[in-house]
Structure 1
């Protein structure tokens, strides 16, 4: 069964000025356009275009709650993935997501404590993990993702100390202490906890480092410090950014961000696919709640390279992005493909026009249109020209 779905972009403050509507050819909302959710998460479930086709269910969450076996197949209780169009006009918060075990325990713990789901200090909105991938749709997509080696961070701090010495002013004690951390081969966790403690002197250190970054205007590395400080002056996340991999994706490149990976999207338009969850532990670059002990408990402090996710070709006209989790895969179709669907699926046409045909059902999708496909279809043939995305499990 094919069911037409839609939604309205969420208007988080960091969203873009109309980039989602421009991509999909829809009317601008007049508000920041941050994320368009296509899925059944109760936070913003997809709206069903013709409720008569689903027995008057108005959205995917309601339909699945009522007719789950018919929609998802026997033994499947929830749609395990969430597809988003994401447009960052400003940096998102530094954040990480829990493992399945951490999410289940944290959700139960906060429920037992009576913390409302809508409370600003709530960490766990559900009991699920939230691994995710991001595929760049704009010409470039900028992000921070994962810790880099301590030696690289140490080199950055040493450069700051050199700039400070050249200024003729005494080196602030906190800057010297930060360098001592790095030279003592302290682990990344110790340095991170020291910076994010946000003790009264830390904003002063942020201000000093920002001033040094502005003095070294030719440095690409310190350009990020200047940028972040412009959005979040005094925030410890400005300093933490120097501990992280900074990557600019070209259009068509993707990242996979597993549980525990600290990351922040900085600027760009992308297709995001994740396990269906809204569990976010924030770590700076935000006015929102930051629970340092909970964040530290979920973070992976291993130094790691940029977590690129390479595409697997599917013939001449399509490719698949398959991360090492079963919850989701993203298939991009540009011309034609035969796609096996191991589960219910969501299809979004971003550019051009495509025919989607299961043998029993067929529909033509044009730019900005999307459908939900029930689990009983099994496979679809896709023909057209442009850019179409299929989200399903693996």
Structure 2
């Protein structure tokens, strides 16, 4: 994989973070498909909406490879030209994700890696204090039929991206406050409509139950007990690095969740990575929206989608981009051509 040379200073990056996003970026001119180097794949429309709210600029639509029926949001995030899309409505899991990634790769052949961004189910434990709205990221683990066996690790993201992640992990103070800043930008963005969308649902709705029964086996005589956890001082999301398990089934079984957490160190479950990671080098970024038990609901989905999108921007803002800005390149070429034509123009006699 190609290495990236760092050219950014943190003070400049932190200064850029304070700029408020109050409306959707104005589309700029159309670019060739060849200039897009980062792919972002979401499963749900709310996940893609959160990503689009954090674009620095949007680009006009362009053509795509024959037979590719997917719609793409094109734009720039940081210095990277990105192409983002989501799965068709009602389709989830590894097979639709694989088809989507294959089409993205055909239409945008210079994509170096894919960020698989969205929501997932968290696996809290005594060692990992995972809360709803936190972010978990990793290259992922596949286990085919998730209820049966673990089959091994998949292709990981580029080395330069993994090196950047390690650098961000070492940053004093971590990333939590920065992510919360980006979440606020998503909420304030005109592209998301209602100002209540993507907001933090409230700590009182972050409930982890002890001794949860498997789905469909809830005993009304022994209702699940709420597990006591010390409250966090702020609503800032915490970022966790660890194993993400990928399969084709929704996990709503706390016993199974805890077994995998203890046996394999799994921090999160999701449903698309296993279909994407052997097509494009991929980093999985998941906002925790539930605890994979029978009490799961959709109350945290939008906020979790926002925190995952926030970490995506945080990552790309810090990732250097070696490619020149094509607009400046074309301006220079056109200027040189114009100058050459002026010199070749015959003088009036």
TM above 0.5, one fold?
Answer: no
Higher relative contact order (Cα pairs below 8 Å, separated by 6+ residues):
2
When normalised by structure 2's length, the TM-score is: 0.28
